[in-house]
Amino acid sequence: MVFKRRFKNILFDLFDMIAFLMFVWWIVLFIRFYVANPYTVVWASMYPTFQENDFIVVDKITPRFGQLKRGDVIVFVPPGKTIPYIKRIVGLPGETVKLENGNVLICPHHDINACTPLNESRYLSGSVKTDARCGISEFDISTWWYFVMGDNRWFSTDSRCCFGLECYQWSSYEAPFNNIIGKVYIRFFPKFTTF
């Protein structure tokens, strides 16, 4: 009788533990797929802001319910690629981005007569120059797409040259909204910072 009662208690405890672990597992999966996702930075295209092997957390909610802004750092999968990239949003939907004399110019609503230099002093040093790549220096951005570049302009594969693909008419230099995984929210290692 005592053995049966103990066995029954052990089974109830085991069931409680399994139910709790399953509940936690579902919460972790929900957070991972719908709220936030961890990534490790690969290569040095965002140096000095991010260094190789930095551990970052990507917020998946902001792009879906908020508005992405110029200067936000995002993780996305470029058209024609399968691996995620980390880049900074430079041009917003409907704008024209011009690269001229090492500077980035933003032209609102495709009006190339009203271009203004982009102030990137918050995340780039004054000595950084942005060169045109692949013979293209002017980019018209579609609705719901973004023009992105790495902070390490000399070594970044970004929108300036179709993310390393040949720039044909069918290839895109923009980051489509639907390909954006999320906005970089926080860096955990080695230096704890928010953006």
Choose the catalytic residue: 87, 159, 172, 183: 87
Find the mean pLDDT for residues 164-190: 80
Instruction: pLDDT band for 172, please (50, 70, 90 cuts).
Output: confident
Active-site pick, 45, 156, 159, 172: 45
Mean pLDDT of the chain: 86
Query: What percent of the chain shows pLDDT beyond 90?
Result: 35
Task: List, for residues 3-37, the tens digit of each pLDDT value.
Answer: 667 777 888 888 888 888 898 889 888 887 778 88
pLDDT bracket for residue 191 (50, 70, 90)? low
Is residue 87 part of the annotated active site? The answer reads: yes
CB neighbourhood size of 46 (10 A): 25
Catalytic site residue 45?
A: yes
Q: For residue 167, which amino acid is it?
A: C
Q: What is the domain partition of the chain in residue ranges?
A: 1-35, 41-194
φ and ψ of 140, to 5 deg: -90, 125
DSSP H or E segment with residue 75 = strand 73-76
Does the domain formed by 41-194 have CATH 2.10.109.10?
A: yes
Rounded to whole angstroms, the Cα distance separating 41 from 176 reads 21
Global pTM? 0.81
Rounded CA separation 55/189 (Å): 5
pLDDT in tens, 124-153: 887 889 998 888 888 888 888 999 999 999
Dist. CA 139–CA 132, nearest whole Å: 11
Q: Would you state the pLDDT for residue 43? A: 85
Q: What is the pLDDT of residue 73?
A: 96
Q: What are the strands of the beta sheet with 138-140, ordered from one edge?
A: 116-117, 103-107, 96-100, 138-140
Residues 6+ apart with CB under 8 A from 44: 51, 52, 152, 155
Question: Residue 99 pairs with which residues in a beta bridge?
Answer: 104
User: What is the tens place of the pLDDT at every residue in 57-92?
Assistant: 999 998 888 789 999 999 999 988 899 999 999 999
pLDDT at 137 (0 to 100): 87
Asked if residue 2 has pLDDT above 90, the reply is: no
